[in-house]
Amino acid sequence: MGQSTDALLVYGYHLGGGDGWELEGLGEYGELPALPWLGDEDDRDFQDAAERRLLAELAGFTETWEDGQEGYFSREREAKAQLGVEIETHCSGSYPMYLLIAKGITAYRGDVQPIDFAYLAAEVQQKDADAKLRAALDALGVTPKQETPSWLLCSFWGI
């Protein structure tokens, strides 16, 4: 078993995480505001809950996986592709921080990724990434401190 130490280049918003959310409207102690789609503090899985909310609100996908539901995973994959955004984690596998992204590139430890910024800029513009990110923020009911989406370089350390 190895340790991953990866670099991520993403286009979107940094949302923060348990040790410091990067959102407006936090509570007195930096806690998330009450979000109807997020479970109580003892039963939180931010990434899973946010993805379920985005799938329901933006793609109309409300199915849940249960034994015997043939074709569930292909329907879920199709719905995720419709979103044009995803919740990604960075920082650490044990203490994740969250990103809402429209494009992501990972350079795994020991790997080199050439970056063509002109191509990437054209791609996110063609896919109307800013509008999809804005719709996702509206669906989640959160406002990042970051005013506009941008290219973010992040690290991930985990197993």
How many structural domains compose the chain?
1
User: What's the confidence (pLDDT) of residue 109?
Assistant: 87
- Write out the residue range of the structural domain in which residue 130 sits: 4-158
Do the strands 96-107 and 4-17 form a parallel or antiparallel pair, or are they unpaired? antiparallel
- 125 near 4, Cβ under 8 Å? no
Q: What does the pLDDT average to over 11-28?
A: 92
Of 157, 56, 143, residue with least CA distance to 97: 157
Q: What is the pTM of this model?
A: 0.91
| Percent of the chain topping pLDDT 90 | 68
Q: What are phi and psi of 106, to 5 degrees?
A: -115, 130
Poorest-confidence range of 73-77, 92-96, 103-107? 92-96
Alpha helix segments (H runs only) across 22-71: 46-59
Percentage above 70 pLDDT, the chain: 93
Q: What is the pLDDT of residues 31-87, one digit of tens each?
A: 888 899 987 654 468 999 999 999 999 999 999 887 667 888 999 999 999 999 999
Angle in degrees, CA 143, 131, 116, rounded to 5: 105
Q: Give the integer Cα–Cα distance in Å for 95 and 91.
A: 7
The span from the CA of 131 to the CA of 80, in Å, is 16
Name the 3-class secondary structure at 27.
coil
DSSP annotation string for 127-155? TTHHHHHHHHHHHHT--BSSSS-EEEEEE
